[in-house]
């Protein structure tokens, strides 16, 4: 019988048996507009499918489980303008997400990897939640002593690739290409690979891009996370045809999506094996 690796499909006995000896992947993102050409679920679907494939690749050595996706992180977009977008308050998301992770810790999961598939400020809030829990500060069970050997790590999956698969990403996309951290060529390509029936490329339009007019700033997906090195110093914004997109989805293809998906799975699987062995 194949190994089950999606946590909600396990019985309580199976979950109890697997908890302490596994790495638990927790995909997190949001439901929000992704231009006129992509489905609202783009962020959470991409990161969930990557996480599930990592588990299928790595199991059974080490044992890897994937939790239910956390899809209600906050979005900067207004649902009045873009119906279907979910807007939560950052502090509400932080409290709820803390309780979700603390519940997993309370359930004897010792190694937890949060895989973020969204930006919008979550890249600042999620690390604060993780640091608090790694400091063994409980919120739900106030008098509970968290296990000393438990740990949580987190990263945005595309930032992880930009740091640890930089050359591979440049080969796939080219150098000095337009920014994509929302509905551009990368996210569109992934959905063309994963959910082609939900993508309408006839409506794809170039969005906001970043110029390469400065040396000491971030320009592209491969540099996006480096914006935190010099606060407030950004390159020139070049307006596009659609204000709800950052990047150029017209450059997307199913082949690019498959290549990026496989690269993400390979690199994250490599990390999971290293994390499990520590």
Query: pLDDT digits over 145-185, tens only?
Result: 999 999 999 999 998 998 899 899 989 988 766 667 799 99
With residue 104 as reference, give the H or E element that holds it: helix 90-106
Fold of 7-162+259-277: Rossmann fold (3.40.50)
Q: Where in the chain is the domain with CATH 3.40.50.10310?
A: 7-162+259-277
Q: What is the pLDDT of residues 52-72, one digit of tens each?
A: 999 999 999 999 999 999 999
What phi and psi values does residue 257 have, to the nearest 5 degrees?
Answer: -60, -45
Exposure on the CB side of residue 99, measured as CA atoms within 13 A = 7
Spatial neighbors of 23 by CB under 8 A, at least 6 apart, are 58, 62, 63, 64, 65, 111, 112, 113, 272, 275, 276
pTM of the complete model: 0.95
What are the residues facing 66 on neighbouring strands?
Answer: 6, 25
């Amino acid at each position: 019988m194949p190994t089950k690796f999606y946590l909600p499909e396990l019985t309580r006995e199976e979950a109890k048996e697997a908890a302490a000896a596994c790495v638990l992947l927790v995909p997190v993102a949001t439901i929000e507009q992704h231009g006129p050409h992509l489905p609202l679920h783009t962020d959470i679907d991409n990161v969930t499918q990557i996480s599930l494939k990592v588990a299928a690749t790595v199991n059974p050595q080490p044992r890897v489980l994937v939790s239910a996706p956390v899809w209600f992180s906050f979005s900067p977009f207004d649902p009045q303008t873009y119906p279907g977008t979910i807007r939560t308050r950052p502090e509400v998301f932080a409290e709820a997400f803390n309780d979700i992770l603390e519940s997993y810790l309370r359930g004897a999961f010792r190694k937890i990897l949060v895989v973020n598939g969204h930006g919008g400020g979550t890249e600042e809030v999620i690390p604060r939640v993780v640091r608090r829990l790694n400091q063994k500060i409980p919120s739900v069970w106030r008098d509970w002593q968290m296990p000393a050997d438990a740990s949580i790590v987190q990263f945005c999956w595309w930032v992880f690739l930009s740091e640890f698969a930089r050359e591979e990403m440049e080969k796939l996309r080219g150098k000095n290409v337009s920014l994509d951290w929302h509905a551009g060529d990368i996210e569109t390509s992934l959905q063309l690979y994963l959910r082609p029936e939900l993508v309408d490329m006839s409506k794809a339009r170039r969005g906001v891009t970043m110029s390469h007019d400065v040396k000491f700033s971030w320009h592209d997906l491969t540099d996006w996370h480096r914006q935190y090195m010099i606060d407030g110093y950004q390159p020139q914004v070049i307006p596009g045809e659609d204000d709800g997109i950052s990047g150029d989805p017209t450059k997307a293809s199913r082949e690019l999506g498959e290549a990026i998906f496989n690269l993400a799975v390979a690199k994250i699987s490599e990390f999971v094996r290293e994390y499990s062995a520590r």
